[in-house]
Amino acid sequence: MTRRPLLHRHWPALADTLPYLPLGSGPTPVRPLTGPGSRTPVWVKDESGYGEGGWGGNKVRKLEWLLPQALRGGGPRTLLSVGGLGTNWGLAAALYAREQGIDVALALIDQPVDAHVRAQLARLRASGATLHFPHTKGRLILSLPWLLARHTRGLRLPYVLPAGGSSPLGTLGYVECALELAEQVEEGLLPEPAWIVTAVGSGGTAAGLALGLRLAGLRTRVLAVVVNDTLRLDAARLTALAGKAERLLRARGAELPPTPVRLGPEDIVTEYGWLGEGYAHPTEPGARALRWAAEEADLELEPVYTAKALAALLALAGEGAEGAEGAEELGGAEGTEGCFGGGPVVFLNTFGPRPDGS
């Protein structure tokens, strides 16, 4: 593949300073979601098909910027990262890094185990990644010196990445996605969204989108549905991460407008009402949204991230009784325009399973 990313096309200086490794094919499709039964038009930008390897979804766009960095300097090096037992990030990292000859080690923290998590763990074991099980965040932190030593190769320390790949560099994956969405708006494939709704697990997706939307000149706001209570992910954290990604672009020579973007409360709104008991604990509204998505919208969601984000969207869009059953009690009111001011609203589908998972 020789596709040039939009970041390189918009700011040609980056082509020499920010190496890119295409791992999927864009643009990912946008389509209207029919039948949610509210007056707010709802669209989906479907990232599920993004990724040519054995797993897709939102982590792949982050790896397109992270893996070239891991490869810098030559010689074998291990990528070390963390996640829950069902980590989509860890699986994507393991599968795509392996293709580049990079070993992956993952330290996994306990999360509620269901069939979905068990299947994911089996895929993680089959991926060839070295798995460690510190169980709790506290024990993970205590074991870090040992993990660093264990995965040092020669004199090369492992390339350590935060949960979800949400470093400033990884965040660029969703700056790229926002630029892609802006092109789709320009081509008339969808109207300029008032809002884009995404789940927040480690923050890179929401932060990157918010920055990219502003850089592209769109007014679209990000509704960040926080589904993880094991990390601090408030709006201040998300805008700070976007700021770091912007400074990275400037430091690498991107010819951005002289005034920093400075995202504020107008750009990213966090929503905590859909977390339920905590990270990876399923919720009733999430289960209903998941069923609705499969039956009415031809979308395969999962309970940890996307089902909760869609549940928030459906309820806040003033869903009414005809759509997801029970949405009314969740805050939606029949016949209103809901909380999105009439929309249009885009749901970002970040889940990318592969049928055989291999």
Ligand X SMILES: *Cc1c(COP(=O)(O)O)cnc(C)c1O
Q: Which is nearer to ligand X, 84 or 320 (CB)?
A: 84
Q: Is 7 in the site for ligand X (CB under 6 A)?
A: no
Tell me the closest approach of the beta carbon of residue 45 to ligand X, in angstroms.
13
Q: Is 57 in the site for ligand X (CB under 6 A)?
A: yes
Q: Is 274 in the site for ligand X (CB under 6 A)?
A: no
Tell me the closest approach of the beta carbon of residue 130 to ligand X, in angstroms.
21
Stretch that binds ligand X, among 137-145, 178-186, 196-204, 324-332 (CB under 6 A): 196-204
Decide: 318 and 299 in contact? Cβ < 8 Å.
no
Judged by CB under 6 A, the residue of 66, 109, 199, 345 near ligand X is 199
Tell me the closest approach of the beta carbon of residue 58 to ligand X, in angstroms.
5
Stretch that binds ligand X, among 74-82, 125-133, 194-202, 283-291 (CB under 6 A): 194-202
Q: Is 37 in the site for ligand X (CB under 6 A)?
A: no
CB-based burial label for 336 (10 Å; 0-12, 13-18, 19+): middle
Stretch that binds ligand X, among 71-79, 189-197, 200-208, 315-323 (CB under 6 A): 200-208
CA distance 233 to 140: 20
Assign 3-state DSSP to the chain and report helix, strand, coil percentages, each to 5: 40, 15, 45
Give the 3-state secondary structure of residue 295.
Answer: helix
User: Which residues lie below 8 Å from residue 171, measured CB to CB, with a gap of 6+?
Assistant: 62, 203, 204, 207, 208, 211, 241, 242, 244, 245
CB-based burial label for 174 (10 Å; 0-12, 13-18, 19+): buried
Q: Is 204 in the site for ligand X (CB under 6 A)?
A: yes
Judged by CB under 6 A, the residue of 81, 205, 220, 270 near ligand X is 205
Binding flags for ligand X, 121-150, as an x/- string (CB under 6 A): ------------------------------
Q: Which is nearer to ligand X, 77 or 275 (CB)?
A: 275
Task: Tell me which residue has tokens 């009402």.
Answer: 273
Judged by CB under 6 A, the residue of 41, 168, 201, 286 near ligand X is 201
Tell me the closest approach of the beta carbon of residue 85 to ligand X, in angstroms.
13
Q: Residue 9 corresponds to which tokens in the numbers above? A: 């096309």
Tell me the closest approach of the beta carbon of residue 247 to ligand X, in angstroms.
19
CA distance 197 to 221: 9
Q: Is 211 in the site for ligand X (CB under 6 A)?
A: no
Stretch that binds ligand X, among 178-186, 198-206, 251-259, 277-285 (CB under 6 A): 198-206
Judged by CB under 6 A, the residue of 51, 54, 90, 164 near ligand X is 164
Q: How far is CA 293 from CA 15, 63, 168, 287, in A?
A: 39, 27, 32, 10
Q: Is 347 in the site for ligand X (CB under 6 A)?
A: no
Q: Which is nearer to ligand X, 5 or 303 (CB)?
A: 303
Decide: 33 and 73 in contact? Cβ < 8 Å.
no
Bond prior to 27 in cis (omega within 30° of 0) = yes
Q: Is 303 in the site for ligand X (CB under 6 A)?
A: no
Phi, psi dihedral angles at 159 (to 5 degrees): -85, 110
Residues in the chain: 358
Task: Tell me which residue has tokens 């994507």.
Answer: 92
Tell me the closest approach of the beta carbon of residue 299 to ligand X, in angstroms.
12
Q: Residue 322 corresponds to which tokens in the numbers above? A: 């005809």
Q: Is 202 in the site for ligand X (CB under 6 A)?
A: yes
Binding residues (CB under 6 A) for ligand X: these are: 57-58, 88-89, 164, 166, 199-206, 305-306, 350-351
